[in-house]
């Protein structure tokens, strides 16, 4: 509809005609004339230039294509960076190999979190989503954080269920540790030997 409406340039052309009035003149050699009057008027319509609109549209289309190409390059770069980060995390697992004596204590520490801090229901929920250790929980939590901190910053409810569960469980570790400490303190056998 916008293309059918074109600005029209309107010009008014007036034809002027002066009439000589016969009769004696006060000055010799000059004819007496009446003031000029408009005898005919007509309107001439010229086709309005649509170049302004088409040029603007062409410019907008060029800019749109350029911005779409920039967006595609940025998304590809983000994806490559995430894949590289995941590869680095897989290669250098969060705690390293479990063959050395120093890593043995780390594994025991992870076992404590897995068995003592998380309830059986928590562990079953995590295993249902393919998370079977604290290392896997941390890896999935980091992936969820990467998605949450990247524009357009989606809310946690829009994440896939695996990422939601991992984020929720990892965030709840300090609270679960505090609950475990309070439960141990309330216990009648809180470490005292009789």
- Domain positions in the chain are 51-92, 101-184
**All residues at 6 or more sequence positions from 60 whose CB lies less than 8 Å from its CB, including other chains:** none
One digit per residue, the tens of pLDDT, for the chain of length 194 reads 444 444 444 444 444 455 555 555 555 555 555 555 555 666 666 665 556 678 888 999 999 999 999 999 999 999 998 888 888 777 766 544 444 444 555 555 677 777 778 888 988 998 999 888 888 889 999 999 998 888 888 888 888 999 999 999 999 988 888 887 777 777 666 555 44
Residue 52 DSSP symbol: H
Distances (CA, A) of 4 to 7, 8, 48, 57, 62: 10, 12, 11, 15, 23
Give pTM, 2 decimals: 0.42
Neighbours of 75 (CB within 10 A): 10
């Amino acid at each position: 509809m916008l293309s059918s409406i074109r600005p029209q340039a309107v010009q008014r052309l007036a034809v002027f005609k002066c009439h000589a009035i016969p009769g004696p003149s006060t000055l010799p050699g000059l004819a007496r004339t009446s003031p000029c009057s408009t005898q005919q008027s007509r309107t001439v319509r010229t086709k309005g230039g649509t170049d302004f609109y088409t040029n603007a549209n062409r410019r907008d289309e060029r800019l749109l294509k350029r911005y779409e190409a920039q967006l595609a390059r940025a998304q590809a770069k983000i994806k490559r960076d995430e894949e590289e980060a995941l590869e680095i995390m897989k290669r250098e697992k969060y705690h390293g190999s479990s063959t050395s004596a120093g890593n043995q204590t780390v594994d025991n520490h992870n076992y404590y979190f897995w068995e003592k801090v998380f309830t059986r229901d928590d562990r079953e929920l995590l295993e249902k989503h393919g998370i079977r250790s604290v290392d896997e929980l941390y890896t999935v939590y980091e992936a969820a954080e990467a998605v949450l901190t990247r524009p357009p910053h989606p809310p946690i409810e829009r994440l896939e269920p695996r990422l939601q569960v991992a984020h929720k469980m990892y965030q709840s570790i300090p609270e679960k540790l505090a609950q475990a400490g309070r439960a141990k303190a309330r216990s009648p056998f809180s470490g005292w030997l009789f």
